[in-house]
């Protein structure tokens, strides 16, 4: 078995910088996203989705911001109510991904 990363793996980067997290809004996004990502990952190893925190993604005025890699999909003004749709459309992996 190869140690190379699976091409299906995704990385979600949530900004928790001072602008994105004003009023703890990025914390709310992160808290909900942790639950959704845990549901996707389950007991799989390596985990198909990796959740990371950034201190700034250089688009502060549009925050809260998150980016999904490898596609580089950028989401601005994110709140926790949008996360189910983002996860469904970008993180639920199919055999075609
Ligand atoms: S603080 Fe979030 S992009 Fe700068």
Chain segment 38-96, per-residue pLDDT in tens: 999 999 999 999 999 999 999 999 999 999 999 999 999 999 999 999 999 999 865 55
3-state class (DSSP) for residue 87: helix
> Can you give the pLDDT at residue 92?
85
What is the sign, positive or negative, of the torsion defined by CA atoms of 48, 36, 82, 85?
Answer: positive
> Can you give the pLDDT at residue 53?
98
What architecture is the 10-90 domain classified under in CATH?
3-Layer(aba) Sandwich (3.40)
Spatial distance between the Cα atoms of 47 and 31, rounded to a whole number of angstroms: 18
Q: Best substitution site from 13, 53, 61, 65 to test ligand 1's pocket, by max atoms within 8 Å of Cβ?
A: 65
> Can you give the pLDDT at residue 95?
52
Measured in Å, residue 29 CA sits from the centre of ligand 1 at 14
Domain ranges, ordered by start, for the chain = 10-90
Spatial distance between the Cα atoms of 37 and 84, rounded to a whole number of angstroms: 11
Does the predicted TM-score (pTM) go above 0.85? Answer: yes
Spatial distance between the Cα atoms of 80 and 52, rounded to a whole number of angstroms: 16
Please name the residue whose Cα sits nearest to atom 1 of ligand 1: 17
Spatial distance between the Cα atoms of 33 and 75, rounded to a whole number of angstroms: 13
| Confidence check: pLDDT of 6 > 50 | no
């Amino acid at each position: 078995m190869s140690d190379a990363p699976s091409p299906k793996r995704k990385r979600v980067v949530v900004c928790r910088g001072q602008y994105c997290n004003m009023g703890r809004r990025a914390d709310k996004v992160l808290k909900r996203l942790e639950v959704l990502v845990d549901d996707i990952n389950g007991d799989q190893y390596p985990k198909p989705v990796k959740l990371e925190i950034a201190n700034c993604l250089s688009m502060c005025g549009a925050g809260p911001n998150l980016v999904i890699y490898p596609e580089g999909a950028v989401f601005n003004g994110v709140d926790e109510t949008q996360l189910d749709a983002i996860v469904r459309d970008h993180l639920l992996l199919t055999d075609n991904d």
